[in-house]
Amino acid sequence: MTKQKGFSKAKTSLNPHDLRISSLGEAVARRKALKQNNTKIVLTNGCFDLLHPGHIHSLNEASQMGDQLWVAMNSDQSVKALKGPSRPVIDEKNRALSLLSLKSVSLVFLFDQANLAREILLIAPDVYVKSEDYSLDTLDPEEKKSLETVNAQIRFVSQLTGFSTSSLISKINKHPPIS
């Protein structure tokens, strides 16, 4: 098991005791330590309600842009506000566990706000990654301003077509339960 201040991550286990969500404070402290070592931090964010091949593809691609990929994950409260009362399907602890089980993801922290402007200023990532369905023009203006303030590169990764959480939920709802 690899242990580091602010988070722990097992390399070969899916034991929930070996993986945990970092607080924003832990992430900021970890970032300060890593900055002294010139560790390049890549930051991305999302709900990751039902982790699917599209997510995994994008996260793998994003992880290639630096030394560590950090995921700011929408809290349950935030997902409900964004997606509606029936979401999230999977609670935040289990969504984070799923993300942390991926080799490409080094750290996960939760956020409740509508955007990551404050977190970006605190963490000061080297690279910020969104999927290619976004552009510089469609990024949240507050996030974009924070990214410019910390001089982060803004990059976009390709998507796998045919995968989205909403389409998966729709597909599941069309099929009767198996008894």
- The alpha carbon of residue 64 and the mean position of all alpha carbons in its chain are separated, in whole angstroms, by 15
Which three-class secondary structure state does DSSP give residue 179? Answer: coil
Domains of the chain: 22-159 (3.40.50.620)
Pick out the chain residues at pLDDT < 70. 1-19, 160, 162-173
- Give the Cα separation of 51 and 46 in Å (integer): 11
Residue where the block lists tokens 């289990």: 94
- Which are the contacts of 158, defined by CB distance < 8 A and separation ≥ 6? 57, 58, 61, 131, 132
For residue 18, give the amino acid letter.
D
pLDDT score of 102? 93
List the alpha helices (DSSP H) in 8-67: 24-36, 53-63
pLDDT tens-digit series, residues 97-137: 999 999 999 999 999 998 999 999 999 999 999 998 899 99
Instruction: Give the pLDDT score at 158.
Output: 86
